[in-house]
Amino acid sequence: MTTTRRLGGRVRIVAPRRHGPEFSAQQTWSELSKNIKEIQNHNACNLSFEENHRFAYNMVLYRQGEMLYKGVKSLISENLEYLLREQVAPVFPSGASQESLQKSNEAEMLLKALKSIWDDHLGNMSKLGQILKYMDRVYTKAAEVPETWETGLTLFLEHIFRPPIKEHVITAILTQIEFEREGYTINRSAVKGCVDVFLTLQTSAGGPTVYKEDLEPALLKKSRSFYEAEGKRLLISCDAPEYLRRVENALQAEESRAHHYLSSQTALPLRQILQDCLLTAHLGNVISMENSGLDVMIDTDKIEDVARLFRLYSMVPTGMTCLKRALKDSISRRGRDINQSSLSVDWDEQDDAQGDNSNGKGKGKSKPAASGVQTLGLALKWVQDVLDLKDKFDIVWKSAFGSDRDLESALNEAFGSFVNVNSRCSEFISLFIDDHLRRGLKGKTDTEVDLVLDKTITVFRFLGEKDVFERYYKGHLAKRLLLKRSVSDDAERGMLAKLKVECGYQFTQKLEGMFNDMKVSIDTMNEFRNYLQKPGISKPCIELSVTVMTATFWPMTHSNSPCTIPQQMNKTCKQFEQFYLSRHSGRRLTWQYSLGNADVRVKFKQRKHDLNVSTFALVILLLFEDVKDDDFLSYKEIQELTAIDHTDLKRHLQSLACAKFKILKKHPPGRDVDTSDSFCFNSDFTSQLQKIKISTVSSKVETSSERRETRDRIDEERRHQTEACIVRVMKLRKHMTHNELVNEVTPLLAGRFQPNPLDIKKRIEGLIEREYLERCEDRKSYNYLA
């Protein structure tokens, strides 16, 4: 309201009526105090508010505020003491009873009584506050004392919430909570009422509440000891899934407890206690619990339990580390089993000539022929097992771990480590892919195969030595391409694209070169055929099909055995050579007989058969063309006539004489070919099939000597790669210290294999010798010499 005042003319302001001498402080107070007592007896409805307000107003007005204030205070105190005596004291817990139900009932009574006098007190205080409003407005501020309402709370604190009553009440609340934790039902509202009192009262003006000061610490202490004991008890009595279920329930129960009848500010410390006592303290024990821990949960596909475990473990900081460790253990254990089973059967009969590069687990020489197929089976089984295991953990990871990135890397790490423990993992994976691209497509649809190959790529990612894989893959791909075993060109190219995505252009460059060679060869052959049609060119007596392979792209692991080929074959070969070199000058053609094969029609006694044999086998068979049916050629003669290496010769003789289709007869009969054996043409051969494929006996899985050779080649290749990498780096930097150089080179090579610093050092020394680099005077760094 504005203060502008219009004082018009002559206006007389009449002074208000004086209250005069009739006012007596004593008398007013005695009236008022009587009425206050009435209010405390719940008889406010018989009292006039106006009258009492006027009493208080007058007392303040006549400067009797202090008397009023003190009088009211003492009246409140008296009333509180009275209430305490009448209502609370009778229900004090006897303390004699040990029975928990009884105790709980007693506690409830006390809490209810306390709540009821609190409500009573608050009601009184609000009425008094209304009557004494004028005092609060005028007197308390001037006298700097708390207003009626605050005074009421302080007095309650002083008279009711004092030792030992407060302790009794706290104990009662704790008793109730513990009773509920044990699974009984309690009167939550009674507890809540009392907790609210604790929450309302402050220890001092603006200070912490009594709840924070007294109740909460006691509550937390009690909870800690309860859950510590509970954790130990559950650990003994429950299995892991049950334990975790209980923990989750306890967490929910405490959460609801905190929000329903405690303070929400307690929820956090309570949760912390639960996590400390039930989770952090027992993480390791629960996860590795025998017959029910994480391992078993995964074994039995208890996704829900695993998910719960993840939920709970991700709450506490150490939980993830523990979970990761357990997962790694679990995977490496399973991985060990898979490795073991692939090794144990295979290498039951360990050869003494064990490869010196073996990992000690027994990488002997496979029994070449017989166990070859079995070994292949094992290799496929190994990869399949790894894939299955990966699938299993992928499912767990997706459905139970919420696709957590952190865990994914832990899982991958674990897979990587056990896969790489198997020293032949690269070969096995390549074999697996080979198998699927060869025959797998027949039974499965394109998408299925694609899926399998995709999965294989995930395993491939674990490989530490990708260059080894590349070598094997190249070998297998070469076989598939040359023998036309690859079922689908699309699938091959798809696989290549996948590898390209994984390892980059460089990795697949040579593989693509192989595909290109195949394509160019087809064109070349068409041109060659057209060329032969031309007049004046002598028609060849055999049909020739040549695949021209670029030497650097194709693996050269196959044997380079010489071979004396018959005249008619040689002629056509020369014809092709002539044709080819006329179109591409400066190239050199080397015939790789060992990779070829031939279709030949053979006349047996009964009928003629079309045989598909390897080039070597054809050469051997052609020897028998001029030999009478019952005459023998000794091993030695054959060797001399064909000039084929012993190992290859034995292999091909074996496939002709000892395999499923016996085109030759061996004397004496037996499975293995010996240098003292002799052979004759088996003209009695019969078969229902017109076309017969004589597959060369070969072990697809490498023998140890082959493997040693592969290993050597790989080592050599690595040496080249390392050197190339060092030179590249040095060319760029010109000058580097040794450590810097090693640190620079290592990650560059890591995509293909794990380089050893010592090897790098050797390469550096090699380069210094060849004067690509020079050692600086400080003996620690190098200069690049252009």
Partner 1 sequence: MADVEMRTESKDDDWVRIESNDGFSFLVRRRVANISGTIKNSLDTESGFSEAESKTYVAREYRGLIIQKLLEYMCFKAHYDKVGPKEEVPVNEFLERIPAEIVLELLLAADYQEM
Residues lying near partner 1 in the complex (CB under 8 A) are found at: 1-2, 4-8, 11-16, 44-50, 52-54, 57, 126-127, 130-131, 133-134, 137
- The single residue listed with the structure tokens 């523990």 is 322
Contacts of 88 (CB under 8 A, 6+ apart): 110, 113, 114, 117, 160, 165
* CB of 1 or CB of 786, closer to partner 1: 1
* CB of 116 or CB of 399, closer to partner 1: 116
CA 119, distance to chain mean position in Å, is 57
Q: Least distance from C-beta 192 to partner 1, angstroms?
A: 22
> Which of helix, strand or coil describes residue 39?
helix
Question: What letters, b where the CB count within 10 A reaches 16 and e where it falls short, cover 497-529?
Answer: ebbbebbeeebbebbeebbebbeebeebbeebe
> Which of helix, strand or coil describes residue 666?
strand
Q: Are 395 and 387 in contact (CB under 8 A)?
A: no
Q: Least distance from C-beta 127 to partner 1, angstroms?
A: 5
Virtual torsion, Cα 28, 30, 31, 33, nearest 10 deg: 110
CA 32, distance to chain mean position in Å, is 78
- Count of CB atoms situated within 10 Å of the CB of 360: 7
Q: Least distance from C-beta 123 to partner 1, angstroms?
A: 8
* CB of 122 or CB of 441, closer to partner 1: 122
* CB of 42 or CB of 607, closer to partner 1: 42
- DSSP H stretches of helix in 262-302: 264-274, 283-287, 294-299
How many CA atoms lie less than 13 Å away from 510 in the CB half-sphere?
17
Q: Least distance from C-beta 8 to partner 1, angstroms?
A: 7
CA 646, distance to chain mean position in Å, is 52
Q: Are 663 and 611 in contact (CB under 8 A)?
A: yes
Contacts of 386 (CB under 8 A, 6+ apart): 335, 338, 415, 419, 459
Q: Least distance from C-beta 79 to partner 1, angstroms?
A: 16
Task: Give helix then strand counts, H and E, for the chain.
Answer: 32, 9
Q: Least distance from C-beta 141 to partner 1, angstroms?
A: 14
Q: Least distance from C-beta 48 to partner 1, angstroms?
A: 5
Q: Least distance from C-beta 130 to partner 1, angstroms?
A: 4
The DSSP call for residue 209 is B
Q: Is 312 exposed, middle or buried (0-12, 13-18, 19+ CB in 10 A)?
A: buried
Mark residue 204 as left, alpha or beta (left: phi above 0; alpha: psi -120 to 50; beta: remaining): beta
Task: Say how many Å lie between the first and final Cα of the chain, rounded.
Answer: 97
Q: Are 107 and 172 in contact (CB under 8 A)?
A: yes
Q: Least distance from C-beta 397 to partner 1, angstroms?
A: 59
* CB of 45 or CB of 236, closer to partner 1: 45
Angstrom distance (rounded) from CA 546 to CA 567:
18
Q: Least distance from C-beta 156 to partner 1, angstroms?
A: 19
* CB of 57 or CB of 593, closer to partner 1: 57
- Tell me the residue type at 581: L
* CB of 49 or CB of 82, closer to partner 1: 49
- Tell me the residue type at 262: L
* CB of 11 or CB of 758, closer to partner 1: 11
Angstrom distance (rounded) from CA 173 to CA 594:
91
* CB of 16 or CB of 183, closer to partner 1: 16
Angstrom distance (rounded) from CA 288 to CA 566:
71
Q: Are 562 and 535 in contact (CB under 8 A)?
A: no
Q: Least distance from C-beta 19 to partner 1, angstroms?
A: 9
* CB of 40 or CB of 722, closer to partner 1: 40
> Which of helix, strand or coil describes residue 711?
helix
* CB of 51 or CB of 640, closer to partner 1: 51
Angstrom distance (rounded) from CA 220 to CA 174:
10
* CB of 46 or CB of 204, closer to partner 1: 46
* CB of 42 or CB of 574, closer to partner 1: 42
Q: Least distance from C-beta 51 to partner 1, angstroms?
A: 8
Angstrom distance (rounded) from CA 110 to CA 173:
9
Question: Which of 283, 281, 273 has its CA nearest to residue 240?
Answer: 283
Q: Least distance from C-beta 54 to partner 1, angstroms?
A: 7
Residue 518: strand pairing partners:
none
* CB of 17 or CB of 603, closer to partner 1: 17
Q: Least distance from C-beta 319 to partner 1, angstroms?
A: 52
